[in-house]
């Protein structure tokens, strides 16, 4: 049967088999077991503090007759009715599936002995939460393992499935009728779509990091298709007996924004229930989505905590667990605790391999007192507070493979030295005037880095070394373990901006059409840089890097070096006060209104010739 979404015929492909050894699955086995207090899955796992009823592979019916499979963990001795914490995932449930912390060197500092082994990947541990008076419901979403149907990748269809599951779970004999969703990554992202359907018994949500726009934030960031991670995920991590959406085939067939991709952009204006939102800087997938959803969520009961580590490490930390309990106790159990006194925004700031500054408190996001300051690129590779008088160009070879991180000559770097302590907090952007003599398009990558007083570019280890039980030199350079700095990317032919949905601090590119760049023509690129929070001491340096290749670390070791941009020849960055000679193609009179939906820019005095970099300070 063909699958249609938003009027489009959707390509499908086979997921991994449940019988594959890497799926770690022993089949559908409905039944009920009671774990006594002190039960351990293996001697290496943590114990269950309280006697726990484990209902395996219950059926969860959906409106179209499809039946999902779910596991329920609930305390054997408890109040007559329990609130439910639902972990919604295609990755497997209760210790099954390809993904696990062992995939990452050092297990992001979470030893096996801290977990029961029955947790969903990126979800709360049942042993922790049954002891706190909650039921954990681990759901295999549509098509996953022995849940019926075909796997859907996000969007309103997954939202409707989640609605049905929430309402069924709320009606189970043991449930109080109060349900929350909880979890990281896919488990966080899916909450946006489910909550937007407004199931009556969904009392609150806890999206512990997740993207909000599959096209713009993950698969085709800046208009540049990024396929290695999605291929890895779809080939090994999605497991089922039928079919899955083939989003890689869809991006080849539909490389521009359309109704199919728009269906996978979350709709925060439809979410009105309380939300506990987590964010970090270290994720190359979730950071901007977490911040965007907090900004735009319709609910007035929303809280944002920005932690300084990696999301899986934080998920099982005592700070996260205790914080979540206060939130859940208030909104699921009605306890009049002090949760509402919690600051709406708590941000931790990175100092790069020194102890971070924790939980700075703010009333809103972006921080209302933010001061946006322009720093201009100059031909001597500095960032200056005033526009340089001398015109200049610098270039790099865009189509060579990336070499070792921070040792690649085909990257332009520009530096600014701080004279006093400064905090770079929030969104930044690079506004660059660029050309390519050898091709009609440019994939441009930018990154902000921190350098010490001697100019050494720093890398931040995300996990405390005491938790990793490693020396700094032993920490593997993958994105889960190390953070380099916030980044941005834009394909020049996708430079058109959606004027209606853009914000002063964040330009949303429309991606509705391609506007190729004639070889050698200078174009203006406004590249959003994901939010960050970095402390700079006097003498330390802010470094802007520009290149024709990705400069972030791979999510997993097998993906290292897998991504190659669609570049050719040299990219030239133009600087200075004199406007380049190609102005006839794009200049419009300075008195006319600027329409960012087109390829033109307005002339702002003589500043139109500048390549500008905007840093955000607090």
Average pLDDT along the chain, 618 residues, taken 10 residues at a time = 86 96 95 97 97 98 98 89 97 95 89 96 97 97 98 96 98 97 97 98 97 96 92 94 97 97 97 97 90 94 96 95 97 96 96 92 90 86 86 94 83 94 92 95 96 96 91 87 95 96 94 96 94 96 95 75 86 72 19 28 28 39
Q: What is the dihedral of CA 123, 129, 135, 138, to 10 degrees?
A: 20
Which pair of structure tokens corresponds to residue 338?
């002090």
Distance CA 373, CA 615 (A): 6
416 close to 382: Cβ distance less than 8 angstroms: yes
130: nearest Cα among 24, 39, 57: 39
Phi, psi of 480 (to 5 degrees): -65, -30
Helical H segments across 118-204, by residue range: 126-130, 156-170, 186-196
What separation in angstroms does the CA of 340 have from each of 294, 330, 509? 17, 9, 36
List all residues 6 or more positions away from 427 whose beta carbon is below 8 Å from its beta carbon: 366, 505, 506, 528, 529, 530, 531, 616
Looking at the chain, the domain(s) classified CATH 3.40.50.1820 span 3-342
91 close to 237: Cβ distance less than 8 angstroms: yes
Upper half-sphere CA count for residue 231 (Cβ side, 13 Å)? 11
List all residues 6 or more positions away from 503 whose beta carbon is below 8 Å from its beta carbon: none
- DSSP per position, 495-510: --B-TTT-BTTBPPB-
Distance CA 170, CA 177 (A): 4
Q: How many C-beta neighbours within 10 Å does residue 328 have?
A: 25
What separation in angstroms does the CA of 463 have from each of 85, 482, 554, 567? 27, 8, 17, 35
Q: Is beta strand 411-417 parallel, antiparallel or unpaired with respect to 541-547?
A: antiparallel
Residue range 3-342, CATH number: 3.40.50.1820
Distance CA 553, CA 208 (A): 22
Query: What pLDDT, on the 0 to 100 scale, is given for residue 405?
Result: 83
> Which pTM value belongs to this model?
0.91
Query: What pLDDT, on the 0 to 100 scale, is given for residue 1?
Result: 57
Instruction: Read off the DSSP letter of residue 122.
Output: T
What separation in angstroms does the CA of 242 have from each of 11, 147, 292, 511? 13, 10, 34, 32
Q: What is the dihedral of CA 284, 289, 290, 296, to 10 degrees?
A: 160
Upper half-sphere CA count for residue 617 (Cβ side, 13 Å)? 14
Query: What pLDDT, on the 0 to 100 scale, is given for residue 568?
Result: 95
Tokens 């114990």 belong to residue: 47
Class of domain 374-462+488-553+566-617: mainly beta
Looking at the chain, the domain(s) classified CATH 2.60.120.260 span 374-462+488-553+566-617
597 close to 496: Cβ distance less than 8 angstroms: yes
What separation in angstroms does the CA of 616 have from each of 111, 349, 424, 425? 37, 14, 6, 6
């Amino acid at each position: 049967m063909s699958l249609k979404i938003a009027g489009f015929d959707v390509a499908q492909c086979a997921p991994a088999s449940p019988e594959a050894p890497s799926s770690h699955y022993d089949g559908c086995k409905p039944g009920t077991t009671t774990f006594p207090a002190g039960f351990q899955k293996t001697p290496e796992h943590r114990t269950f503090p309280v006697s726990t009823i484990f209902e395996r592979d219950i059926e969860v019916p959906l409106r179209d007759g499809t039946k999902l499979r779910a596991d329920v963990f609930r305390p054997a001795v408890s109040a007559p009715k329990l609130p439910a914490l639902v972990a919604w995932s295609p990755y497997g449930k209760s210790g099954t599936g390809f993904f696990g912390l062992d995939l990452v060197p050092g297990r992001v500092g979470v030893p096996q002995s801290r977990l029961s082994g029955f947790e969903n990947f990126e979800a709360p541990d049942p042993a922790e939460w049954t002891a706190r008076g909650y039921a954990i419901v681990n759901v295999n979403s549509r098509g996953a393992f022995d849940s019926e149907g075909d796997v859907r990748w996000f969007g309103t269809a997954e939202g409707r499935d989640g609605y049905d599951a929430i309402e069924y779970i709320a009606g189970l004999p043991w449930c109080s009728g109060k349900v929350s969703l909880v979890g990281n990554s896919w488990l966080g992202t899916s909450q946006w779509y489910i909550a937007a359907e407004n199931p009556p018994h969904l009392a609150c949500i806890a999206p512990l990091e997740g993207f909000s726009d599959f096209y713009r934030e993950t698969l085709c960031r800046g208009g540049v298709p990024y396929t290695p991670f999605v291929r890895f995920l779809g080939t090994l991590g999605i497991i089922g007996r039928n079919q899955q959406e083939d989003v890689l085939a869809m991006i080849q067939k539909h490389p521009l924004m359309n109704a199919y991709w728009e269906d996978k952009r979350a709709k925060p204006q439809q979410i009105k229930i309380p939300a506990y939102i987590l964010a970090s800087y270290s994720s190359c997938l979730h950071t901007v989505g977490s911040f965007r959803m907090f900004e735009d969520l319709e609910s007035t009961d929303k809280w944002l905590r920005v932690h300084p580590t990696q999301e899986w490490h934080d998920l099982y930390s005592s700070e996260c667990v205790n914080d979540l309990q206060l939130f859940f106790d208030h909104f699921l159990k009605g306890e009049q605790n002090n949760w509402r006194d919690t600051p709406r925004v708590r941000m931790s700031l990175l100092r790069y391999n020194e102890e971070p500054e924790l939980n700075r408190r703010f009333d809103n996001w972006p921080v209302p007192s933010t001061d946006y300051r322009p720093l201009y690129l100059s031909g001597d590779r500095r960032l200056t507070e005033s526009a340089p008088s001398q015109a200049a160009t610098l270039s790099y070879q865009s189509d060579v493979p990336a070499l070792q991180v921070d040792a690649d000559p085909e990257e332009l770097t520009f530096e600014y030295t701080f004279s006093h302590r400064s905090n770079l907090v929030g969104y930044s952007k690079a506004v660059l005037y660029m050309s390519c003599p050898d091709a009609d398009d440019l994939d441009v990558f930018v990154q902000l880095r921190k350098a010490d007083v001697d100019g050494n570019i720093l890398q931040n280890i995300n996990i405390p070394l005491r938790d990793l039980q490693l020396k700094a030199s032993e920490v593997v350079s993958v994105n889960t373990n190390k953070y380099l700095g916030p980044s941005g990317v834009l394909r020049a032919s996708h430079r058109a901006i959606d004027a209606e949905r853009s914000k002063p601090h964040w330009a949303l590119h429309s991606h509705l059409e391609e506007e190729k760049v004639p070889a050698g023509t200078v174009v203006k690129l406004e590249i959003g840089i994901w939010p960050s929070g970095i402390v700079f001491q006097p003498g330390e340096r802010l470094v802007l890097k520009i290149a024709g290749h990705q400069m972030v670390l791979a999510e997993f070791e097998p993906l290292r070096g897998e991504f190659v941009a669609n570049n050719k020849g040299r990219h030239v960055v133009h600087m200075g006060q004199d406007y380049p000679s190609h102005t006839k193609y794009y200049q419009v009179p300075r008195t006319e209104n600027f329409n960012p939906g087109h390829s033109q820019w307005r002339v702002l005095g003589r500043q139109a010739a500048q390549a500008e970099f905007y840093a955000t300070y607090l």
